[in-house]
Amino acid sequence: MDVVYSSNEQYARHLAVSMYSLMDRNQAAEKIRVFILSSGISQESKERLLSIGQQFGREIVWISMGDLRERFPYAVDTGGFDISAMGRLFVGTMLPDEVERVLYLDCDTVVLDSLRRLWETDLKGKLFGAVMEPTIYRQVMESIGLGEKDPYFNSGVLLIDVKRWREEGAEQELLDFFGALGGKTFACDQDTLNGAFRGRIRPLHPRYNFFSNYRYFHYEDLKRQSPSYGAVSREMFMQAKRHPAVIHFAGDERPWKAGNLCHYRRAYEHYLGLTPWKGTAKEKGQRLYLLAYHGMDYLTFVCPPARRLISSRFGMQVVENRKRDGRPEEKVIPREKAVPIQEQEENGQG
């Protein structure tokens, strides 16, 4: 199983948590090779991450992405997201030619079960598989050319047919699509993938990318928000709730923030305690906001329309808040040149 992450230095410890959980929960897998698309990860963090691979006897391959902005022939506005999130758009050119299928995981995920069935999923000729995100704002869908009945997918977990991706020139399609929108969308890479590849994405079972706040949503309400979510049965949704295989800490209720009350925070804390980042203090300064956010979770369960009203009114403001969330991309992305594939450093084979 080939797995790829894209990270900067600030997210290195979250990458460590996700990678440790991946290896721990998939020890029966004959082979796991992890590619890390690095946007300025320090040497110290690299050595720490390598130690995790060595502990499980797994190979880690480093790929330097350099300054990702130089990969776009136009100015890019990520709307507060770190530019490293765009690394997944370049898997076709950055991964070795021998890689024909890869599982992409966001750094803010924790793996809780075997991913063998996910890895073996038949994509039925689609470019990649992903899990639907029915709570996306209608305005966002319209801005990228999707209609009310079109599915919208989260990009936190992607099963990619890299061979087809290269053959069909997917990377250039993405660059062209994003450029046509002025190099700016609400959810940058995610919107670009959805808009450029409409009709070419295979829906995956929601347990392979279960958003932490969906614990409080009702299945029927998700179908009301997005008619396409009917492709996910109520049984599948409830199975994902009861037995998620991959928890995705999407939204602002993140387990590394002081004062968070996320139901799944213990899974993150458990694996953090097994990594070289054990004992890292939680980020401070948002206790009141996180308390209010958790209250909105319960409001979602009791009165879904109220959640939608609040979300639609203030959701766009959340993106602006990311600029003040300690993750200013210009401070964490070094101005280094990308390293060609033949010169990449490969380390950590067990």
In CATH, what number is assigned to the domain containing residue 38? Answer: 3.90.550.10
- Confidence band, pLDDT 50/70/90 cuts, at residue 78: confident
Position 343 in a domain: no
Look at residue 128 and tell me whether its pLDDT is greater than 70. yes
Look at residue 48 and tell me whether its pLDDT is greater than 50. yes
Position 348 in a domain: no
- Confidence band, pLDDT 50/70/90 cuts, at residue 311: low
More confident position, 330 or 224: 224
Q: Return the pLDDT at 132.
A: 98
Position 349 in a domain: no
More confident position, 318 or 292: 292
Q: Return the pLDDT at 20.
A: 98
Look at residue 167 and tell me whether its pLDDT is greater than 60. yes
More confident position, 309 or 46: 46
Q: Please state, in angstroms and rounded to a whole number, the distance separating the CA atoms of residues 158 and 170.
A: 14
CA angle 188, 18, 327 (to 5 degrees): 45
Position 347 in a domain: no
Q: Please state, in angstroms and rounded to a whole number, the distance separating the CA atoms of residues 33 and 23.
A: 10
Per DSSP, 313 falls in state H
Look at residue 335 and tell me whether its pLDDT is greater than 50. no
Domain count, the chain: 1
Look at residue 54 and tell me whether its pLDDT is greater than 80. yes
Overall average pLDDT of the 255-266 stretch = 95
Look at residue 298 and tell me whether its pLDDT is greater than 90. no
Strands 33-39 and 128-132 turn out to be: unpaired
Instruction: Give the pTM.
Output: 0.88
- Confidence band, pLDDT 50/70/90 cuts, at residue 301: confident
Domain membership of residue 314 as a residue range: 2-326
